[in-house]
Amino acid sequence: MKCNDTIAAISTPPGEGGIAVVRMSGTSSLSIIRKVFRGKNPIQKNSKGQVYHGWIVEKDEPIDEVVLTLFHSPHSYTGEDVIEVSCHGGLFISRRILEVLIQYGARPAEPGEFTQRAFFNGKMDLTQAEAVADLIRAKTESARRVAIYELEGHLSGRLQKIREDLIKICSLLEVELDFGEEDIMFVSRKEIKHLLIKTRGELQHFVDSYRRGKVCREGIRMVIAGRPNVGKSSLLNGLVERERAIVTEIPGTTRDTVEDVLDIEGFLFTVTDTAGIRETQDPIEREGVRRTEKVLDISDLVLLVFDGSESLNREDEMIVRRVKEMRKPVIVLINKIDLKQQINIHKLKKWFPDEEVLRISALKKEHVSRLVQTLKGTAISGGIPHEGEVLITRARHKNCILHAIELIKKAEASLRKSMSQEFIVMDIRGALDVLGEMIGKTVTDDILNQIFSDFCVGK
Amino acid sequence: METRRVDYDVIVVGGGHAGCEAALAASRMGVRTLMITMNISTIAQMSCNPAIGGPAKGNLVREIDALGGEMGMAIDDAGIQFRMLNRSKGPAVWAPRAQADRLGYSVRMRCALESQEGLEIFQGMVSSVWAQGDSIGGVETSTGRRIACHTVILTCGTFLNGLTHIGLESFPAGRAGEFPAVGLTESLVDLGFEAGRLKTGTPPRIDGRSIDFSQTEIQNGDSDPQPFSYRTKSIRIEQLPVYLSYTSPETHLVLSSGLDRSPLYTGKIVGIGPRYCPSIEDKIVRFKDKEHHQVFLEPEGRQSREYYVNGFATSLPEDVQVRALRTIPGLGNVRITRLGYAIEYDFFPPTQLKSTLETKRIQNLYFAGQINGTSGYEEAAAQGLVAGVNAVLKIRREEPFLLDRSHGYIGVLIDDLVTKGTNEPYRLFTSRAEYRLLLRQDNADRRLMRYGYRFGLISNGQIATLEQKEKLISNLIQQCKKVKPAPEMINTILKKLKTTPLSSRQSLYQLLKRPQIHLVDFRTVKEVDRLLDHLGDLCKDVVEQVEIEIKYAGYFQRQMEQIERFRNLEQKCIPETIAYQTISTLSKEAREKLTKIRPISLGQAARISGVSPADISILAVLLEKGVTDKKVPRGTN
């Protein structure tokens, strides 16, 4: 197993700052730090955690004045001996310290390895571990909020609550089987049905939250589409510049689609400007169109741009058809309102009876703020977690819960067919097992414990 | 095999339900066996209620019988009332239960023991065992007799340092009026075993002549009593009824008034009692709102006038027991013949055992029954049988007999015991069995009889019948798919059964999927009649199996898939030599638990409480890498 060695990494983000932290975890943490640390007090392993002041040295040459924080196993994040070296900020010093640690036996940590160890050492369950991974990668405030919420075990907690409800239902059914001779008021099938439907509804709620959870975690993928020369690029520039929020130009995107990231009040939008869609014989341009369609395909939202200064033509019509086929949410934009308007708005409204139609001038920045408001509204209705709401953000969780729902439906079907309790319980137990896998619990004696606490049994 | 001279191959200590099955299995498998019991007259005594079977327990008896045990035949012979419980539910939870003639059962079982070749019985008290190295050497009785043997099976019931309580009085006793077994616990602790203390209780027994039965409800046996044993053809006896009455708020008032003299509530009893079988005082304290509790008056036997007051276990003082009983309708003038009491006794947490019921610490020493923290005659008998069989297999150096959770209730029982242990008297419930749809009382023979045959506990005739039955079953299922009666031939029958008539031909297989329909309903169809005739003596059994298999095919299929997934983990074996303490990535608790329990498979490891899924992932990775990986520490081989 890998976990026999000791890992180290710079834990603070790159860049200038007051202090930086280099973290080390593993069985050799203490022996390594003893070799490179000179302080007034010798490092001891005797209590839960300690703080030491001193110098990190390399062959007696001081590198930096630091504060060490020791977390002894198992009372640490990873469950192993963890040492945090707080040094002066700046990449140079922290790198030097990391190099020294590695020189004396530590190994550079791989991404997420501290969390992985925490998981392997039973310091957190799977949902918590995954939440940490999300937290590290959280791009925006709302994603961070979801991640922190999961980390605190809220997802586990909510699922645990649902599991308890299912265990309760099982116990109500089981008691009739094992204690049928007893003088017990058995619960009616109607009530069992209500309980099952209620629980299934709660699980469904989790699944529904997946889309919003995904939006929080990954942001909204938005595509600017339209025929060539309707002002798509200036719209992108307008949007991005206005919010002064260009994060990076993500490398590796295709030559003909340009992608930018936009943060609107904590919501992440990935905006892709596309090559104009039109029918063409030119093989290169055809490839561009193909890629545009691919981007459209994975998008969450389409900004469909029309040139207000020209009348609608066959190319516009073709794009509308394509976009409508995709059945994506669309915001219709009439651009270039600063010019003389030729566009047949009537026709456009007929094509998009339910969609919002905004009139802007990307170049002159007219009404762009209105677009931003609309985008924010879209994000809120589609993605913001309510205060205290738990969202499902991972496909693994979603699939587990969907599986559980499937099984509960089977139990309901058995109930409808008036099957005996043991057939109904079979699938509820299946659902319990599936949910248990998510948060790492097994059913075993839970049902019996429930029976013994609720019913007076025993002749 | 060791060249050491021994007096017996196997010595079974105890003559209760575990001891009887262990001694019979061992001697029937051909080894010299000695049973030592403290009292030959109380062999196979039912210490508590005079009944066998019930949910899960009935399945156990059927499994014991399929493996060649004695319990099923004994209760068929000594039963005085037979009922199939849960008949309104699915076949998986049908549960045979019988009231027994307490004395008759004991005599019947003693008769089986005494007529068994190779089995000797000796009355005495084993006060210690001795070991030779890490292997058992033999037993020593309280009179100083030392008996050497290859194997010892301890089935001591509630006798180990037994202490009975009635009110604030307590008496050392193995059962009311019987000596406790002293010395043995200490001898085992000296060998390094960990002991614990449990408690159980029993209700008073009363004089039937003092009961006014007119104030009670009567509960009769089934009109078509079903035998427990596959060897019993039918049961033709006159059945005795059980009577039912209820406690009242007045009863509860009387009981409450005695709580200050209850050994349970004054802290005199330290052992932990079973939650599923609480004393009546426990019931009224824990469930204050319940105004009535059921009380069953069960006959003790044909020759006895005593009745057993089931549901009224108590250790309250004598005067309270009398006054409380007299508030119950029908018991206004009741006379108690024997007082209810609680008993505390030593047990040995069963996590100290392997799945063969051999102790991990001392080779060739087996524990079975209440010494393992279980309660119930059936649970004890099942363990006795498994211990007896494995003792002989080990002497013969053959592969051990292991049943897993998908094989039978016996597998569930033993896996629960050795994997999770217990801190209250353990009883089997159907809900403990994950795969119970397939672990039915109706198919115990099909699941297990071949094992019994392999051990020589099932006769050639019986196995031949089973083979024949299997052949007829698969044949009949094939025929049901082929035979498609014409609508006009069966539509009147379908209408009579209140199910939709056919418009076109449908196979019997399709028709039988409807819950209301049974094959015999179509007897008037010539082809069906011929099919049924062809089955001969086995007709009833074969048709039952075929109908169950067809009606619940979808569920069974899914349960089979669950079992397949379960076996995946069960088959990932963990080498016995693995040194958990040196796998630093396992949590501390997991390291301790795994070291103690030493699971044989990843599946078993996952069922240990305190071993998290993360620990299992780590183990899985280690096993996946092959334990040949140099970094994986191994114990000495």
User: What CATH number does the domain containing A432 carry?
Assistant: 1.20.120.430
C-beta atoms of A425 and B618 within 8 A = no
C-beta atoms of A422 and B584 within 8 A = no
Nearest CA in chain B to A126: B614
Record the tokens describing residue B399, joined without a space. Answer: 């592969």
Q: A153 forms bridges with which residues in the sheet?
A: none
Q: Which residue in B57, B431, B622, B632 has the most chain A C-beta atoms within 10 A of its own C-beta, making it the best mutation to test that interface?
A: B431
Distance CA A221, CA B165 (A): 75
What part of B 57-116 touches A (C-beta under 8 Å)? 85-86, 88-90, 92-93
* B621 at interface of A, judged by CB pairs closer than 8 A: yes
Same domain as A283, residue A228:
yes
- Please state, rounded to an integer, the average pLDDT across all residues of chain B: 93
Task: Establish if A157 belongs to a structural domain.
Answer: yes
Task: Establish if A453 belongs to a structural domain.
Answer: no
- Residues in chain B, overall count: 637
SS3 B549: helix
CB-hemisphere CA count at 13 Å for A435?
Answer: 31
Distance CA B580, CA B591 (A): 5
Written in H, E and C, the secondary structure of B236-267 is CCCCCCEEEEECCHHHHHHHHHCHHHCCCCCC
pTM over the 0.90 mark: no
C-beta atoms of A74 and B606 within 8 A = no
- Calculate the dihedral angle through the C-alpha atoms of B256, B260, B262, B263, rounding to the nearest 10 degrees: 160
Which of these three, A84, A102, A123, is where a domain ends?
A: A123
Same domain as A258, residue A227:
yes
The answer, yes or no, to whether the previous bond of A74 is cis (omega within 30 of 0) is yes
Vertex B238 angle, CA B233 and B240, to 5°: 120
Identity of the residue in A125, A181, A422 whose CB atom sits nearest the CB atom of B93: A422
Nearest CA in chain A to B584: A4
Q: What is the ipTM of this complex?
A: 0.85
Output the domain CATH number for residue A106.
Answer: 3.30.1360.120
Same domain as A139, residue A237:
no
Same domain as A152, residue A282:
no
Written in H, E and C, the secondary structure of B31-96 is CCEEEEECCHHHCCCCCCCCEEECCCHHHHHHHHHHCCCCHHHHHHHHEEEEEEECCCCCHHHCEE
Vertex A83 angle, CA A79 and A89, to 5°: 135
Task: Establish if A115 belongs to a structural domain.
Answer: yes
What part of B 435-474 touches A (C-beta under 8 Å)? 436-437
Identify the band that residue B632 occupies on the pLDDT scale cut at 50, 70 and 90. very low
Which of these three, A66, A96, A123, is where a domain ends?
A: A123
Task: Establish if A451 belongs to a structural domain.
Answer: no
Task: Establish if A402 belongs to a structural domain.
Answer: yes
The answer to whether B15 and B153 have CB atoms below 8 angstroms apart is no
What part of B 572-611 touches A (C-beta under 8 Å)? 583-585, 587-588, 590, 606-607, 609
> What's the mean pLDDT in B365-370?
98
Distance CA B519, CA A98 (A): 80
The answer to whether B280 and B288 have CB atoms below 8 angstroms apart is no
pLDDT, tens digit, 9 for 90 and up, residues B597-628: 899 998 899 888 888 766 777 777 677 655 43
Q: A356 forms bridges with which residues in the sheet?
A: A331
- Residues in chain A, overall count: 459
Same domain as A371, residue A308:
yes
Number of domains in chain A: 3
Q: B298 forms bridges with which residues in the sheet?
A: B308
Nearest CA in chain B to A182: B294
Q: What contacts B523, CB < 8 A, 6 or more positions away?
A: B529, B532
Task: Establish if A215 belongs to a structural domain.
Answer: no
C-beta atoms of A422 and B311 within 8 A = no
Identity of the residue in A120, A182, A423 whose CB atom sits nearest the CB atom of B585: A120
C-beta atoms of B613 and A426 within 8 A = no
Identify the band that residue B350 occupies on the pLDDT scale cut at 50, 70 and 90. very high
Domain ranges, residue A203? 131-209+390-440
Q: What contacts B335, CB < 8 A, 6 or more positions away?
A: B206, B207, B209, B210
Q: Provide, as residue numbers in chain A, all residues whose Cβ is less than 8 Å from the Cβ of B553.
A: none
SS3 A275: coil
Q: Provide, as residue numbers in chain A, all residues whose Cβ is less than 8 Å from the Cβ of B89.
A: 176-177, 180, 420-422
Q: Which residue carries 């239902």 as its tokens?
A: A169
The count of other CB atoms within 10 Å of the CB of residue B561 is 10
CA distance B394 to chain A (A): 32
Task: Establish if A137 belongs to a structural domain.
Answer: yes
C-beta atoms of B585 and A1 within 8 A = yes
Record the tokens describing residue B508, joined without a space. Answer: 């019997």
The answer to whether A452 and A230 have CB atoms below 8 angstroms apart is no
Which residues in chain A land under pLDDT 70?
Answer: 1-3, 13-17, 46-49, 90-91, 111-112, 119-120, 122, 124-154, 210-219, 241-259, 261, 265-267, 275-281, 284-285, 288, 379-396, 439-459
The answer to whether A432 and A171 have CB atoms below 8 angstroms apart is no
R_g (Cα) of chain A, nearest Å: 29
pLDDT score, position A386: 42
**Exposed, middle or buried: residue A57 (CB in 10 Å: 0-12, 13-18, 19+)?**
middle
SS3 B197: strand
Counting residues of chain B whose pLDDT is more than 90, the rounded percentage is 83
Q: What contacts A237, CB < 8 A, 6 or more positions away?
A: A362
Q: Provide, as residue numbers in chain A, all residues whose Cβ is less than 8 Å from the Cβ of B85.
A: 180-181
Same domain as A375, residue A295:
yes
Q: Which residue in A177, A179, A400 has the most chain B C-beta atoms within 10 A of its own C-beta, making it the best mutation to test that interface?
A: A177
CA distance B268 to chain A (A): 23
Task: Establish if A445 belongs to a structural domain.
Answer: no
Residue B586's closest CA among A282, A123, A37? A123
pLDDT, tens digit, 9 for 90 and up, residues A322-367: 888 877 778 899 988 888 888 888 888 888 888 888 888 887 878 8
Work out whether strand B169-172 and strand A49-58 pair parallel, antiparallel, or are unpaired.
Answer: unpaired
Nearest CA in chain A to B421: A445
Q: A270 forms bridges with which residues in the sheet?
A: A221, A261
Same domain as A190, residue A301:
no
The answer to whether A332 and A306 have CB atoms below 8 angstroms apart is yes
Distance CA A28, CA A6 (A): 6
Which of these three, A123, A157, A178, is where a domain ends?
A: A123
pLDDT score, position B636: 32
Same domain as A373, residue A226:
yes
Residue B176 clears pLDDT 90, i.e. is over it: no
